[in-house]
Amino acid sequence: MSQAISKKSRTPVYKQQDLQTQELREKGLLFCIGIVIPLFILIFWEVTTRQGWVDELFLPSLSGIVTEFLAMATKGYAGTPLITHVLGSLRRVFIAFSIGTVVGLSLGLLMGYYKYVRAAFYVVTELLRPIPPLAFITLFILWFGIGEVSKVLIILYAGALIVMLNTIEGVRSCPQNKILAARTLGANDLAIFLYVIFPAALPSIFTGMRVALSVDFGILVASELLAGDIGIGYIIQDASVFFNVEALFVGILMIGFFGVVSDFCLAFISRRIVHWQG
Amino acid sequence: MTQLPSKSSTISPSLDRHSPHLTEDEVICLDQVAFGYSRKRLVLQDFGLSIRRGEFLTLLGPSGCGKSTILNLIAGFHKPLSGRVTHSGQVVKGPSARRGVVFQGNALFDWMTVEQNIAFGFRFKSLPKYEQQQQVKTIIELVGLRGSERKYPYQLSGGMRQRVAVARSMVVQPEILLMDEPFAAVDVQTREGLQEELLKLHEQVAGAILFVTHSVEEAVFLSDRIVILDRDLGGIYHEISIQLPEPRYASMNRVSEAFNHYRTELYLKMKAIS
């Protein structure tokens, strides 16, 4: 009884919210805005198309796109199940991104660490850097045929270049103090590379990987637009030819969806591994 | 009453530094060293300095006088243009685990825990695992990092980070520890604590310490001997031995009469060259 009273009297009442509560409320408000505005846009979209303010040929209705998606999911597209299209595209990106990362990482580490290697390849990389990978696409088809190989290779090339450039940057940005500290603790070149330079480059490497992955999705669609009979890019291309705007939107939205999901996964892994970075 | 050292007890840099009978006592010797980042503008010329085993020597001087350059030469980060730097009679050719270095900051491995940072030097030493762990534990205790073993550097305050840096270099027991303004970036209270801990560590670990600072107080509190460097000549302007009551790490030393005496003397010397 007396405890209850003393407890009560010890909790003073303040008029103003503390900073933590204010921050929490602000976060909640921002979250709501972030949800409400897109929802509003979607509703506006649905209303304009339903009312016939916009021609369905240019902008299909939201419900139409959903219906089309469900139809594609059950009956497939162009005689092929939707899952085959999706998996076909994802497989290309996955293979190209994985190999591209390994290639870019290896080259980047070599070029970042050995100044002679860097000097040897400097002109080549500086020349390749500004050329959009898509410029090579027909050349790749000419060299490697119109099948799977040229598609994977062009995606691989685009991603590897980005990972490589970021890896070089990461290796070179390793503070000299850390390297010297390791050396005065008895570390040899290999140990310095493994325990100091490589971990120091990891944040930059992951940034490169995330940029590479998003670029890879772009190159994927472009390569599938040009040739092939499977893939999300193929759906987009085929739907455009037949003015199937609903299917076109399904394709576009699917690319966006998988791009976001894969980037989210990579960002998650990255935060886990390079936890010391901000 | 503490006795003040007479002027005559200060040791002037002798010219016969490299004579063999002296080397028993000294760990590092710089002999007629010249250095400059460009040949046209030398920072050091005909510079001589010797550091005795186990002593705490501080290089004091205005910025740009070559304090850090001397430290880098001893560490093996730079090579002298002429003359030589020797460590126990052997010419210094590059960095070595026998000469530890504590940097001003930013030299910890952010991807390793406090414990892993401190134990890093043991990877390259053949010491039984058990003994390594024991020594790491002891030094963590000594620098007051207990409870933070599993933390990462970014979770620590600036003072704590420098404690890790000092512990990491000291745990492998180098013959000399080179410290380039290691406490310059922390606040005054923290810095005083760090200075006292450093002196305690120096009592435990036998190696010599070469400390670089531009703070007169810091130099007096820490050192057995202080060398003031000249800005223009890149030579030794003044040298003084410090004798303060034991234990040296007692913070009351900072307000002792002897401390004040040394500080005034050094302050005036510094004033004269700047």
Q: What is the CATH number of the domain that holds A157?
A: 1.10.3720.10
Mean pLDDT of chain A: 91
In this structure, the answer to whether residues A161 and A197 fall within a common structural domain is yes
Segment A130-167, tens digit of pLDDT: 999 989 988 998 999 888 899 999 999 999 999 999 99
- Locate A34 and state its tokens: 């972030």
Q: Are residues A87 and A219 in the same domain?
A: yes
Inter-chain contact B110–A276, Cβ cutoff 8 Å? yes
Report the chain B residue with the minimal C-alpha distance to residue A197: B109
Both structure tokens of B52: 């005795």
How many domains, in total, are found in chain A?
Answer: 2
Query: Is A278 part of a structural domain of the chain?
Result: no
Choice among A44-58, A95-109, A242-256, B168-182 with the minimum mean pLDDT: A44-58
Contact: A177, B106; criterion CB under 8 Å: yes
- CA-based nearest distance A41→chain B, Å: 42
CB-nearest partner of A187 from B105, B106, B124: B124
CA distances for A75 relative to A78, A129, A233, angstroms: 9, 43, 18
Full residue range of the structural domain in which residue A143 is found: 64-273
Give dist(CA B76, CA B95) in Å, integer. 5
One domain for residues A187 and A222: yes
pLDDT at B10 over 60: no
**In the predicted model, what is the mean pLDDT of chain B?**
86
- Amino acid, res. A93: V
Instruction: Report whether pLDDT(A258) > 90.
Output: yes
- For residues A39 and A68, membership in a common domain is answered with no
Is B172 in contact with A186 (Cβ distance < 8 A)?
yes
Residue B274 has pLDDT above 90, yes or no: no
| Domain shared by A92 and A213, yes or no | yes
pLDDT digits (tens, 9 = 90+) for A180-227: 999 999 999 999 999 999 999 999 999 999 999 999 999 999 988 887
CA distance A93 to chain B (A): 31
Domain residue extents for chain B: 7-98+177-187+209-273
Q: Are residues A82 and A126 in the same domain?
A: yes
The answer to whether residues A44 and A91 belong to one domain is no
In a domain, A94, yes or no: yes
ipTM above 0.90, yes or no: no
Enumerate the H helices of A114-197 as residue ranges. Answer: 115-128, 137-144, 148-172, 176-184, 189-192
Contact B103 A180 (CB under 8 A): yes
In a domain, A234, yes or no: yes
Could you give the percent of chain A with pLDDT greater than 90? 74
Task: Write down the residue that tokens 């040929």 correspond to.
Answer: A57
Q: Could you tell me if A37 and A166 lie in one domain?
A: no
- Do residues A38 and A124 both lie within one domain? no
Check residue B91 and give its pLDDT. Answer: 92
Residue A154 belongs to some domain of the structure: yes
Residue A1 confidence (pLDDT): 46
- Contacts of residue B170, defined as CB under 8 A and 6 or more positions apart, other chains included, come to B100, B139, B177, B201, B205, B207
Which residues of chain B are within 8 Å of residue A200 when distances are taken between CB atoms? Answer: 110-111
Strand partners, B212: B59, B180
CA closest to B104 among chain A residues: A177
pLDDT at position A85 is: 93
Q: Are residues A180 and A244 in the same domain?
A: yes
Do A30 and A74 have their domain in common?
no
- B101/A184 CB distance under 8 A: yes
Chain B residues within an 8 Å CB radius of A185? 97, 100, 120-121, 124, 168-169, 172
Q: Tokens in use for A230? A: 């499977």
Interface residue ranges in chain B relative to chain A, Cβ cutoff 8 Å: 75, 77, 95-97, 99-101, 103, 105-111, 120-121, 123-125, 152-154, 165, 168-169, 172, 174
| Topology of the domain comprising B7-98+177-187+209-273 | Rossmann fold (3.40.50)
Query: What does each C-alpha distance from B108 to A163, B105, B190 come to in angstroms?
Result: 26, 8, 19
Reported confidence tier of residue A278, pLDDT bands at 50, 70, 90: low
Alpha carbon of A112: minimum distance to chain B alpha carbons (Å): 19
Q: Does residue B233 carry a pLDDT above 80?
A: no
pLDDT confidence bin for A6, thresholds 50/70/90? low
Residues A185, B172: C-beta atoms closer than 8 Å: yes
> Is the backbone of residue B223 left (phi > 0), alpha (psi -120 to 50) or beta?
beta
Q: What is the mean pLDDT of residues A103-111?
A: 96
Domain boundary among the residues A14, A34, A54 is at A54
Q: Reply yes or no on whether the pLDDT at B38 is more than 60.
A: yes
Distances (CA, A) of A80 to A51, A63, A127, A257: 34, 23, 41, 21
Asked if A161 and A46 sit in the same domain, the reply is no
- B168 and A188 within 8 Å at the Cβ level: the answer is no
Tell the burial category of A124 from Cβ atoms under 10 Å away from its Cβ (0-12, 13-18, 19+): exposed
Q: Is residue A48's pLDDT more than 50? A: yes
Tens digits of per-residue pLDDT, B114-161?
Answer: 999 999 999 998 888 899 999 999 999 988 899 999 999 999 999 999
Report CB contact under 8 Å: B111, A180. no
